[in-house]
Amino acid sequence: MLQEIVTVFESLSQMLCVAFNAPTANNFLTLSYGLVLCLGRPTVRNMLRASHRKVTKHESSYHRFFARARWSVDQLSKVLLLEVLIPLFAPTGDLHFAGDDTTCGKSGRRVAFASWYRDAVHSSGKHQVIHWGHNWVMLCLIVPCPFAAQRKLHVPVMARLYRSEKSCQGGQRPFKTRHELLSRMMEKLCQWLPERSIRLSADGAYAAEKMLSSLPSQVAFTSRVRRDAAIYELAPERTKKRGRPREKGARLPSLKAIGEKALCTLGQVTRYGVTEEVLMHTFVCLWPTVSKKKPIRIVIVRDQKGKEPDDYFFTTDLDTSVVAVTEEYAGRWGIEEAIRELKQSLGMDEVQSWSAPCVWRQVPFVLIMHSLVVAAYYKAMGATVTAGFVPPSFGQMLTRLRFGLWEERIKEALAFEQSESKIMADLHAILQTAA
């Protein structure tokens, strides 16, 4: 099994080499193996030390891979999505994506585009923690876990660096909000996948007019709606009276008041790993401050026992069922787990870069390696899955790939085979503690 994962990872890595010229592709492969095998901080030097491939060039050549080499992050993401992820996980049907942002702490005043950001992990309602670092807007593909459909996989696809207005002054790149960065990534996806229907979910911070107004028409957006949202009935039909037609109807009561008086229906939803029955109510309205003239469907979800507060969601797809909207928004939570995996297992917030070109490229490089590990694991599993399969964590997938690569390297170095099985058993026990 370990060797199958190694073989698949090698073939998938080779598929991405079409995004580079020959010398740069060789550097990409060397650094790819180095990142997945690196147990410490993923600096270029540490990646070269850990790499499974033989390092034949000077170290500066691999630094130039991030700093000056001619390759595009978007082109690499395109190859990853079209050639690896979609054929493996979602060859047909709607494509579901989740968007969110995260901060990566940095040190040093000369780090390009670094600024002060709120640390969401260590902050609370009463205590706010601010740290110096970068802020990244991420986009993940959401697919059912192969062999365990009740679980979802969140596979990173793209990322954009958010820059403060101060860091954009006098530069060639204009300032863009997080909403604009996410919508630009969705525009890229629509260009690559013009014939596929795309659904996007994000938290309530992205429910803004700049977001909805710039999304392509083939994208259906699902998010939270503010509890104090000013919502209105749909515009009445045009009458024969003179004057400009009305753009909206009468102001509706607050969502809380609507939920208390509404006749809710009982429905079964699966979210956060639990299947439960909840009370649901839905209606179509206008939210002018966010959706302008575009109607939205609002879904109110109420706990039968009254222990949990009501949830309020909305979607721009008016034909979506209330159960689908509820489960779709709950499904975006996995992007938080993907961010944690990127930081804990691959050191996304520890990459050593301070110049502008390196900052633009190193974090997306880590995201793509995360996706390759996940794709390699599930493609290698194939027909070997048995009943009662429990989906592993990303750390377990990465550990198995590391074991396979380390075992392959040691077998090549062994001059004898008599005690190979015993050596490998002891080695696995030692490496388990290191990983």
> Same structural domain for residues 46 and 186?
yes
Q: Which residue has the higher pLDDT, 180 or 414?
A: 180
> Same structural domain for residues 388 and 288?
no
Residue 147 lies in a domain: yes
CA distance 198 to 203: 17
Q: In 3-state terms, what secondary structure has residue 340?
A: helix
CA distance 88 to 218: 23
> Same structural domain for residues 52 and 190?
yes
> Same structural domain for residues 171 and 41?
yes
Q: What is the mean pLDDT of the chain?
A: 88
8 Å CB contact between 352 and 163: no
- Which pLDDT score, from 0 to 100, does residue 426 have? 57
Residue 24 lies in a domain: yes
CA distances from 174 to 80, 129, 167, 270 (A): 28, 28, 10, 42
> Same structural domain for residues 126 and 54?
yes
Q: Is the pLDDT of residue 289 over 90?
A: yes
CA distance 15 to 8: 11
- Give the model's confidence band at 433: pLDDT under 50 very low, under 70 low, under 90 confident, else very high: very low
Q: What percent of the chain has pLDDT over 70?
A: 93
- Which pLDDT score, from 0 to 100, does residue 79 have? 96
Alpha helical stretches, state H, 169-239: 178-192, 209-214
Residue 315 lies in a domain: yes
Q: Is the pLDDT of residue 92 over 60?
A: yes
**Could you tell me the residue range of the domain that residue 256 belongs to?**
224-238+246-321
Residue 418 lies in a domain: no
Which residues, listed in sequence order, are joined to residue 132 by a DSSP beta bridge? 116
Q: Is the pLDDT of residue 213 over 70?
A: yes
Query: At what angle are helices 394-413 and 2-16 packed, to 10 degrees?
Result: 100
Residue 328 lies in a domain: no
> Same structural domain for residues 169 and 33?
yes
Residue 260, both tokens: 């208390």
Taking only the tens place, the pLDDT of each residue in 221-234 is 999 999 899 999 99
Q: Which of 36-50, 120-134, 177-191 has the lowest mean pLDDT?
A: 120-134
> Same structural domain for residues 122 and 62?
yes
| Domain count within the chain | 2
- Which pLDDT score, from 0 to 100, does residue 435 have? 46
> Same structural domain for residues 192 and 251?
no
> Same structural domain for residues 231 and 101?
no
pTM (2 decimals)?
0.90
User: How many other C-beta atoms are found inside a 10 Å radius of the C-beta of residue 336?
Assistant: 15
8 Å CB contact between 87 and 191: no
Residue 111 lies in a domain: yes
CA distance 241 to 399: 72
Average pLDDT, integer, range 271-282: 88
User: How many other C-beta atoms are found inside a 10 Å radius of the C-beta of residue 43?
Assistant: 17
CA distance 216 to 218: 6
Domain boundary among 270, 289, 321: 321
CB pairs under 8 A, 24+ apart, for 233-236? 233/285, 233/286, 234/284, 234/285, 234/286, 234/295, 235/286, 235/293
Residue 399, both tokens: 């550990």
What is the DSSP-derived secondary structure letter of residue 232?
B
Taking only the tens place, the pLDDT of each residue in 342-396 is 999 999 988 888 888 899 999 999 999 999 999 999 999 875 666 667 888 999 9
> Same structural domain for residues 357 and 299?
no
Residue 161 lies in a domain: yes
Q: Among candidates 215, 207, 222, which has minimal Cα distance to 299?
A: 222
Distance, CA of 435 to chain centre: 24
Residue 421 lies in a domain: no
Q: In 3-state terms, what secondary structure has residue 387?
A: coil
CA dihedral 217, 225, 162, 24 (to 10 degrees): -50
CA distance 108 to 94: 44
Q: Among candidates 90, 99, 92, 70, which has minimal Cα distance to 157?
A: 99
CA distance 295 to 315: 9
8 Å CB contact between 72 and 174: no
- Give the model's confidence band at 425: pLDDT under 50 very low, under 70 low, under 90 confident, else very high: low
> Same structural domain for residues 317 and 371?
no
- Which pLDDT score, from 0 to 100, does residue 14 have? 95
> Same structural domain for residues 277 and 338?
no
Q: Among candidates 349, 264, 339, which has minimal Cα distance to 299?
A: 264
